[in-house]
Structure 1
Amino acid sequence: MPDKFWDIGFPQGRRPRYVGPMELYARVNILDGRAVRLPHGDITEFISLDDDPINRARGWVKKGADRLHIVDLDAAARGDYRNRELIGDMIKALDVPVQVGGGIRSETEIARVLDMGAWRVVVGTLPMVDQVLFWELNRRYPYRIVVSLDVCKDLEVVIKGWTEHSGVYLEEALINLSSAGAAGFMISEVGRDAFVDPPNYEALEMAIEIVDEPVIAAGGVRNLDDIAQLMQIEANGKRLAGLV
């Protein structure tokens, strides 16, 4: 395994700039071709931010973003892949590594998104419903697959664009999926509003303690104090690797 998980799998030989002990990712959610925000993780309650997601992404890069995290909400919640061409155009337009999530539940879709030039793909439902395939895909695409575990307040993992309960809780999911060769684990709490609610520190600390792979906090933060506290989370000598 490489010394740094961000050294793997960059399109056209590009590598991101190292920006410190915790990597910061800019996030662009896409719904119906627009950049949106979901205050509570419900696509029926979205707030439109920009009719041009490429413009939104370029804005983040101009502000210094070294990485971009794109979520295709139509694919995640509806199985509608209309945004894939747009996402491909976004990747081509940006000179930073881009990881893509949303509706990636098969090897065909993983290969499709990576062929579009994505740095990494993010999967949530696939590893929860077919662990054998998940392990095999990590062998075929080493360090190109990130696991996204979205949990409720009681730490039950939800899948299929946050529309279904898996019946599996975070600790069990982490134990089952660790050591598969994933590039990392993204942890977020469904239903929290990043502008109001603090991050789920309990879930993040649990993840850092259980897995050896890099752990990324997803879902956003309210302020610099939250970032400072996230940087202090530690378990077994390990800290958070990133923040979306």
Structure 2
Amino acid sequence: MDLYARVNILDGRAVRLPRGDVATAISLEANPVARAQGWVEKGADKLLIIDLDAAAFGNYGNRPLVRQIIDSVDVPVVVGGGVRSAREVEELLGAGAWRVTMGTVALVDQVLFWDLCREHPGQILVSLDVKKDEELVMRGWTEHSGTFLEEALVELSSAGAGGFMIAEAGRDALHEPPNHAALALALQTSLPEEEVVAAGGVRNLADLEDLCELDADGSRLSGVVVGREITEGRFTFEDAKAVVAANS
């Protein structure tokens, strides 16, 4: 299982979102490129870069920073946030992104999503932000979709999604546990070749161990996204890798 480090970009700054709301974003000291490089130095296997301006406001001014990050690190980079067109997918993959994540488009324009999955097999991940009642939210958590998790998983898996990144809308990762039921449902519903990544973070090493042990008919998570847990001293990447190795 891979450990992803997340970098959120808002208005050219690296930020933290306590509950996923851009209105409450907290600026961090490091710029996005330096923060990404720092994560790699600490031991991240992969990076997840989220362009919050693109996701919430359709503003793509952070894209040059995203490209700088891709060029400056030697680990696979997944890019999400406002990826809503064939052009965006092609530009990001062409810039060296390992995968791109799509959320809103995957839910509202399935014809385009099917076409993109066919043109870029295995390279399109779906970011699904799940409420407690399993309804999905979109456009940076600003809109309800009216679609529920199991329905979306079945349809998007059929379309050829490369995998799913599952996060819990409104959850504070440092104080609330991961939604095991949603993650187990994703493992049960997706195809064996499709990755399932827990993208909502963990509170501590015990949560990480629980995710490592999560098993649905022999399927296990392919990755977990961490970040704030490490910067606030809950554990280190070295600690996390030891837990992953012990449960492999």
* Same fold, judged at TM 0.5 (above): yes
The aligned residue for residue 68 of structure 1 is: 47
Number of matched pairs: 223
| Distance across 2 between alignment mates of 1:176 and 1:58 | 36
The aligned residue for residue 11 of structure 1 is: none
The aligned residue for residue 235 of structure 1 is: 216
The aligned residue for residue 198 of structure 2 is: 217
Instruction: Provide the alpha-carbon RMSD of the alignment.
Output: 0.9
1:45 matches 2:7: no
Residue 144 of structure 2: SS of its match in structure 1? strand
- The code of the aligned residue for 1:182 comes to A
Q: In structure 2, which of residues 150, 166, 189 is the aligned counterpart of residue 187 of structure 1?
A: 166
- The code of the aligned residue for 2:147 comes to V
Q: Which segments of 5 or more consecutive residues in structure 1 lack a partner in the other structure?
A: 1-21
Return the TM-score normalized by structure 2. Answer: 0.88
Any conservation in 2 of the 1:33–1:51 contact (CA below 8 Å)? no
C-alpha displacement of 1:65? 1.0
Q: In structure 2, which of residues 123, 126, 143 is the aligned counterpart of residue 144 of structure 1?
A: 123
Q: In structure 2, which of residues 144, 149, 155 is the aligned counterpart of residue 165 of structure 1?
A: 144
| Distance across 1 between alignment mates of 2:81 and 2:207 | 26
| Distance across 2 between alignment mates of 1:186 and 1:218 | 6
| Distance across 1 between alignment mates of 2:121 and 2:154 | 19
The aligned residue for residue 94 of structure 1 is: 73
C-alpha displacement of 1:51? 4.4
The aligned residue for residue 109 of structure 2 is: 130
Q: In structure 2, which of residues 55, 61, 67 is the aligned counterpart of residue 82 of structure 1?
A: 61
Q: Which segments of 5 or more consecutive residues in structure 2 lack a partner in the other structure?
A: 226-248
Identity of aligned residues (%): 61
Residue 220 of structure 1: SS of its match in structure 2? coil
Greater shift in the superposed pair: 229-238 or 45-54: 45-54
| Distance across 1 between alignment mates of 2:86 and 2:18 | 31
- The code of the aligned residue for 2:148 comes to Y
Runs of 4 or more above 2 Å deviation: none
1:142-173 Cα shifts (integer Å, max 9, x gaps): 11110011011111011111111010100111
